[in-house]
Structure 1
Amino acid sequence: MDAHTERTSAANMTVYPILFAISLGHFLNDAMQAVIPALFPILRSTMELSYTEIGWIAFALNMTSSVMQPVVGLWTDRLPSPRFLPLGMAASLLGMAGLALAPNFWFVLLSVLLVGIGSAVFHPEGSRVVYLAAGARRAFAQSIYQVGGNTGNALAPLFTALIFVPFGQKGAAWFMLAAAVGITLLWRVSHWYGHELGCRPAPSQTKKAQRTDPGHPVAFALALLVFLVFARSWYSAGISNYYQFYLMETAHISVREAQVYLFAFMIAGAIGTLVGGPLADRFGKRNLILWSTLGTAPFALALPHAPLSLALPLLLIAGFVLSLSFATFVVYAQELLPNHVGMASGLIVGLAFGMGALGAVVLGNIADLSSLNTLMMLCSALPLFGALAVWLPKDRT
């Protein structure tokens, strides 16, 4: 076997230990991000925050990471930086310390910005590690990576019920230990990543036949993909940031009880993410994006009108179906821009998903100016935009 054949064989092998390690790092990173919405009921009570101010906190977190992720991705496409992985986790550690001690709204915003910066630095390089370790199973590998992050996000309601209700915002200090574990883990992953960069040719060398700059069909597909993720993110922002308050207002349940419903939506999303990868590999990425986004619409539309007894199953189904295509969006973007894997990941995981932060502010204003019921009704229609996925190029195209 010659050297070229050996490199090709290695590139097609899936490196599961690294995939599971980076997925765990993603879990820890997103669990620390989940601390912020988990603190919303506590901060609203102790600091007397409005829904608009809660929206601004969500905006600060997501916009920091969304604006920076494509920039970091573009930089690391040209100059990969394995040390960004532990450095991003270190920034989140500082953010957790700040949240535990924050005396006012502005200090909370500063701490949240640190967590956002840590996430922006982590995600593009984490996606590149997955790309290198995936071998021939890219959608499945991406689903392993993303399920770590989705599971971390899904823990937000449990953090509220088990940590922040009894201990208040000082409970955020416990997550400094999670950050320390993450720094150690990602330091080891960065060594493998650096070694792989030295052994494999750059994507630009292996794909010379493909143009570096996207043409008009690719640019249209990428713009449509970003819009679909944008609509999906606004729906998720409405559920994750405000549905707990909607239940507390309309069903008159406690903060702790409301977390059960929010957790159901998020953990179903984590399961859907894991299931979606193999489905995309088998039935096609474009098909799964269409079925997943549009398929959520019936359950989303029914949710605001359903009695409390049906809210839980509707949330479970909506969260599961919506998240089937979570990892697929990233892989689809990477295949549209094969020479810019980091930037493609940043556009989808960062910019497009992070634009849900803008949705959090807008939705918060809607709740303050009208009602939470109006907010939920508007959110329920957002998955209908999934019908636009029919204009995405098919996988073979």
Structure 2
Amino acid sequence: MNTATTSQKTTKQSQEMTLRVLLIIGLCHLLNDSLQAVVPAMFPILEKTMSLSYTQLGMIAFTLNIVSSLLQPAVGFYTDKKPIPYALPIGLTSTLIGVTLLAIAPTYSIILCAVLLMGFGSAIFHPEGSRVAFMAGGQRRGLAQSIYQVGGNSGQALAPLITALILVPFGQKGALSFTPIAFLAVMLLLYIANWYAHKLVEFKPKTKAVQTHNKALTKKVSIALSIVLFIIFARSWYISCMTNFYSFYLIEQYGFPIKTAQLFLFAFLAAGAIGTFFGGPFADRFGRKNIILYSFILSAPLTILLPFVSSTIAFILLLIIGFIIMTSFSVTVIFAQELFPGKVGTMAGLTVGFAFGMGAVGSVALGAIADVMGIITMIKIVSFLPILGIIAIILPSDDLLKKWYA
């Protein structure tokens, strides 16, 4: 009887949301991604000091993101079978070394080595961080994933402020000021890793049961995952364009100084972070598929209009677009995880890693287009990408997805 009572207590605890852990892992995600954001934030500085082309800047972003995108699914796949709680602080240590090297790098090749280390750290952090959010979320997975992801997107949103307040006045070496941030993240992740190691005891039986059930997955599930990845492709290329190149567009189109351009970009990314947070609770209430679909239906007309308006209207549109398009960010991760129950790390690594990878490819491709056709033309072409996300209309409904695993 005592054993049954203990089992029921354990089950109840595993279903409850652990807000403390979610807030800490969300903060660590913010710290991790703010360090990653130092790289694109440094682009205007590197373009001037090292005379780099748009293609070379795109290659830096490619190196950072492609390493992360290739390794994330592999890390997630391995840790689904054999979780490694202390991989989290190890990954942030790699990022700490990378950001330090980035600050003192004298050549283009050493910058590539620095971002390689940062990409490796990000690859380890993201699937394991998502697993922590999944375990701490209980039955409120949409909200839990939003708390975790909004940390990351808030960190990315800090990039323009980093440029305006730190990198413009202090230059490349200003990145050294982020080493204490990286060290703080490592310390916090040691605490999370200890919680993670104890929490695994509750999740092992459930994981084994689900893995057995996964053998019955149908072809429809694979098709649904392909659609999710295509949607991520469309969103990632658009976000990559805005993050890496929109500031150059503002400088050329409106004659803005670097600081003003970065503040516009901050508005877009900050609105996106807010959208990321609300996306999860909206999905818990209105359905995963609906939030994914409407994030593209509502944002597409606005992205197409954006390059043709005055700077004042552009600022307003950036706020609206950022909020709407990023409501789907955490939801696509949850949708993929529910398509393949028991493969939390693999799906987090695949979806977020795919987003990084597509952003990496997009950085190089869009940089090359900007070099050939001009930054203004490239921005106008990319504005049509969100239309592709309307393919979400053929995703299975939430109710149908539940029936597949009933």
Q: Determine the C-alpha separation between the residues in 2 that align with 1:254 and 1:5.
A: 61
Within the alignment, does 1:90 sit opposite 2:93 as a pair? yes
1:211 aligned counterpart, secondary structure: helix
1:298-309 matched pairs, under 5 angstroms: 298-309=301-312
Q: Which residue of 2 aligns with 1:269?
A: 272
- Offset of residue 63 of structure 1: 0.6
CA RMSD, Structure 1 to Structure 2 (Å)? 1.1
TM-score computed with the length of structure 1 as normaliser: 0.98
Q: Determine the C-alpha separation between the residues in 2 that align with 1:146 and 1:293.
A: 19
- Percent identical: 48
Within the alignment, does 1:152 sit opposite 2:155 as a pair? yes
Equivalent of 1:134 in 125, 134, 137: 137
Q: Which residue of 1 aligns with 2:233?
A: 230
Q: Determine the C-alpha separation between the residues in 2 that align with 1:173 and 1:198.
A: 40
Q: Which residue of 1 aligns with 2:113?
A: 110
Q: Which residue of 2 aligns with 1:366?
A: 369
- Offset of residue 166 of structure 1: 0.4
Q: Determine the C-alpha separation between the residues in 2 that align with 1:202 and 1:165.
A: 53
Equivalent of 1:9 in 12, 31, 46: 12
Q: Which residue of 2 aligns with 1:387?
A: 390
Q: Which residue of 2 aligns with 1:187?
A: 190
TM-score computed with the length of structure 2 as normaliser: 0.96
1:253 aligned counterpart, secondary structure: coil
User: For the Cα contact (< 8 Å) 1:294–1:385, is it kept in 2?
Assistant: no
Moved more, 207-216 or 21-30: 207-216
Q: Determine the C-alpha separation between the residues in 2 that align with 1:294 and 1:381.
A: 12
| Cα displacement string for residues 19-76 of structure 1 (whole angstroms, at most 9, x for unaligned residues) | 0000011000000000001100000000000000010011011111001000000010
Gaps of 5+ in 1: none
Q: Determine the C-alpha separation between the residues in 1 that align with 2:376 and 2:115.
A: 28
1:51-130 matched pairs, under 5 angstroms: 51-130=54-133
- Offset of residue 10 of structure 1: 1.2
- Offset of residue 202 of structure 1: 4.1
Give runs of ≥4 in structure 1 deviating > 4 Å.
none
| Cα displacement string for residues 229-269 of structure 1 (whole angstroms, at most 9, x for unaligned residues) | 01100000111111100111111110111111100000000
Q: Determine the C-alpha separation between the residues in 2 that align with 1:208 and 1:218.
A: 15
Gaps of 5+ in 2: 401-406
Moved more, 232-241 or 191-200: 191-200
Q: Which residue of 2 aligns with 1:175?
A: 178
Paired AA for residue 307 in structure 2: P
User: For the Cα contact (< 8 Å) 1:14–1:133, is it kept in 2?
Assistant: yes
User: For the Cα contact (< 8 Å) 1:230–1:355, is it kept in 2?
Assistant: yes
Paired AA for residue 317 in structure 1: I
Q: Which residue of 2 aligns with 1:313?
A: 316
User: For the Cα contact (< 8 Å) 1:230–1:353, is it kept in 2?
Assistant: no
- Offset of residue 209 of structure 1: 5.9
Paired AA for residue 320 in structure 1: F
- Offset of residue 363 of structure 1: 0.4
| Cα displacement string for residues 274-322 of structure 1 (whole angstroms, at most 9, x for unaligned residues) | 1111110000000100001221101100101111121100100000000
| Cα displacement string for residues 116-165 of structure 1 (whole angstroms, at most 9, x for unaligned residues) | 00000001110110111000000000000001000000000000000000
Paired AA for residue 98 in structure 1: L
User: For the Cα contact (< 8 Å) 2:66–2:356, is it kept in 1?
Assistant: no
Q: Determine the C-alpha separation between the residues in 2 that align with 1:350 and 1:41.
A: 26
Equivalent of 2:52 in 49, 53, 73: 49
- Offset of residue 11 of structure 1: 1.6
User: For the Cα contact (< 8 Å) 1:290–1:389, is it kept in 2?
Assistant: yes
User: For the Cα contact (< 8 Å) 1:66–1:351, is it kept in 2?
Assistant: yes
| Cα displacement string for residues 330-357 of structure 1 (whole angstroms, at most 9, x for unaligned residues) | 1001001112110000011112343111
Moved more, 203-212 or 281-290: 203-212
Q: Which residue of 2 aligns with 1:281?
A: 284
Equivalent of 1:201 in 204, 210, 227: 204
Inter-CA distance 14–164: structure 2 relative to 1 (3 Å threshold): same
Paired AA for residue 35 in structure 2: M
Within the alignment, does 1:292 sit opposite 2:295 as a pair? yes
User: For the Cα contact (< 8 Å) 2:73–2:347, is it kept in 1?
Assistant: yes
Inter-CA distance 130–114: structure 2 relative to 1 (3 Å threshold): same
Q: Which residue of 1 aligns with 2:31?
A: 28
Q: Which residue of 2 aligns with 1:18?
A: 21
Q: Determine the C-alpha separation between the residues in 1 that align with 2:237 and 2:68.
A: 16
Inter-CA distance 112–208: structure 2 relative to 1 (3 Å threshold): closer
Q: Determine the C-alpha separation between the residues in 1 that align with 2:238 and 2:302.
A: 12
Structure ranking higher in helix proportion: 2
User: For the Cα contact (< 8 Å) 2:34–2:155, is it kept in 1?
Assistant: yes
User: For the Cα contact (< 8 Å) 2:289–2:397, is it kept in 1?
Assistant: yes
- Offset of residue 208 of structure 1: 5.6
| Cα displacement string for residues 156-215 of structure 1 (whole angstroms, at most 9, x for unaligned residues) | 000000000000000111111101000000000000000011243344333266224742
Q: Which residue of 1 aligns with 2:404?
A: none
Within the alignment, does 1:165 sit opposite 2:165 as a pair? no
Paired AA for residue 25 in structure 2: I
2:399 aligned counterpart, secondary structure: coil
